Amino acid sequence: MSRFCCRPGFRCGRFRTGCCVGDSVNRKLPFGCSDRSRSLIRCFLRESHVDRPSVPVLQQSGGVIVSNVLFRCVVLSGVVVLLSGDRLPAQRGPAVVVVTRVVEREVTSGHSFVGSIEPLKKATIGSAVDGRVVEFPVEEGDRIGDRQPLAKLLTATIQLELKAAEGELLFRQESLRELKNGTRPREIEQLHARMLAAGARREFHVARRARFTALAKQGTVTEDDLSAVVSAAITAERDYDDARAGHQLAVAGPRKEKLVQAAARLAVQQAVVDQLKDRISKHTIVSRFAGYVTARRTEVGEWVGRGDPVVEIVSLDQVDVKVHVLENHVPHLRVGTEVTVEIVALPQRFRQGKIVAIIPQADSRARTFPVKIRLTNTITRGDPLIKAGMLSRVTLPTGARTRALLVPKDALVLGGRQAVVYMVEADRKDPKKQVVRPVPVRLGVAVGKDIQVIGEIQAGQQVVVEGNERLRPGMEVIARPVPPVPDAKTSKPTESQR
């Protein structure tokens, strides 16, 4: 045998009789291996017989470990993988699909219009107060939630005003509580004791006045002494009346008017605190709906005035396609009609939308009316698939009635650059088998659950409506017709319904 030229870095060696290219190796291969597996196994065995390059050895205590064992293990692993690959299970049988027939009906002819994607909501968020920007955490392209903070202004001074106002509010709250609780029992007892003491003094001075009056009639006391005694008695009576009134007021509690006045003063101060809190809340600029940031209009450190723009946001969870329709086509349109929208920039470019608005104000120059078609967007990891400003084409039912081929919308496969339907037909090699063939189609107007298709397709042919997502061209299938919908008027009740 001739010498075998190895790769650079390998030494050449001779193939001996009975080596990997000999008959003995072929006899050693497992029964049932494919030709591809046999050739690959020979390559592995050939490499194992070629002298390997000098490999550095790892000196360890106890001996020298050479990479020869590792090399043989790698070769053996490759052989095992190849042998196991020949024993993979066979391919599954034909796929079961549900089919229906293409129908031809009279529909309103469609017309294609070019439009643009518009966000459902678009807003420029401004500042409600004057202040300096201290925080601006959002960037262009960020997804934001409803009521999420967008920027924050400096609030140090107004925070001090709020603390003072809250202190005054606390004082007035406690004053009102004191009035509502009334006089404490100990105070009432104190006033009652004072009233009793005043009563005792009054009785003493009244008795003394009576005695001095009798003595004055006998001429034993002077007029000055009598006047002093009478004055003291009157004073004692007045002190008693005052003490009794104070005790009665304490027992009765505060007047209703005093409570109302205290409550009014408390309400005024509460309004002051609420006003300061509202001013502080306006120093935090928040979004009013969920969406995406499209522009930053200020930066940290800048001074913004009341009404100055801070950030622009758009809502893209739902989008509108705005097209301009000629005035002679507008009478054929109805709000709520489902239409087909083609977005050129998307891989799955065809989508179903619904007319939500026909604006009754035409462009005076072009004589066209704006029409809005709403689509539900696809949000993947916070990124909207349909973006504002994308080019779109919309097919609207605007013409006269004509004959058209219709298929259910479920028959459409919209994963490529063009819509496709899978047609079921007999296999050319074996007419007893059924296979599928993809047919590219152009979409027309939508009629309920059906849609017009234009392509190499004819009425009466069978198209797949269930299971078409996993089909491949030429795949063998078992076709099952769409089960009929039972009529509620004619269907017989089941045993459980009787």
Whether residue 70 is contained in a domain is answered as yes
297-349 pLDDT per residue, tens: 999 999 999 999 999 999 999 999 999 999 999 998 999 998 889 898 887 78
Q: Is residue 318 part of a domain?
A: no
Q: Range with the lowest mean pLDDT among 83-92, 136-145, 226-235, 451-460?
A: 83-92
Instruction: Report the C-alpha gap between 196 and 198 in whole angstroms.
Output: 5
Domain count, the chain: 2
Last residue of a domain, which of 244, 275, 306?
275
User: Which of residues 20, 54, 85 is at a domain's end?
Assistant: 85
User: β-strands 103-126, 391-408: how paired?
Assistant: antiparallel
Report the distance separating Cα 265 and Cα 288, nearest Å: 35
| Confidence label for 92 from pLDDT (cuts 50, 70 and 90) | low
- Would residue 52 count as lying in a domain? yes
Burial class (CB in 10 A: 0-12, 13-18, 19+), 412: buried
Average pLDDT over residues 246-270: 91
Rounded CA separation 158/154 (Å): 9
Q: Which domain holds residue 16?
A: 3-85
Judged against a pLDDT cut of 60, whether residue 69 lies above it is answered with no
Is residue 178 within 8 Å of 170, Cβ to Cβ?
no
- The Cα–Cα gap between 460 and 146 comes to 52
Please determine, for residue 58, whether its predicted confidence score (pLDDT) is greater than 60: no
Q: How would residue 397 be classed by pLDDT, with cut points 50, 70 and 90?
A: confident
The answer to the question of residue 144 being in a domain is no
**pLDDT of 292 higher than 50:** yes
Residue 37 falls inside a structural domain? yes
> How confident is the prediction for the chain on average, in pLDDT?
81
Judge whether 290 lies within some domain. Answer: no
- Structural domain includes residue 462: no
DSSP 363: -
Is residue 156, in this structure, part of any structural domain at all?
no
Place of tokens 């977005």: 343
DSSP string for residues in 429-494: S-TTSEEEEEEEEEEEEEETTEEEEEES--TT-EEEEESGGG--TT-EEEEEEPPPPPPTTTPPPP
The dihedral of CA 192, 194, 197, 201: what is its sign?
negative
Among the listed residues 258, 254, 210, the one whose alpha carbon sits nearest the alpha carbon of residue 232: 210
Residue whose pair of structure tokens reads 């924050």 in the numeric block: 152
Element (H, E) at 497: none
Q: What percent of the chain has pLDDT over 90?
A: 53
Residue ending a domain, choose from 225, 242, 275: 275
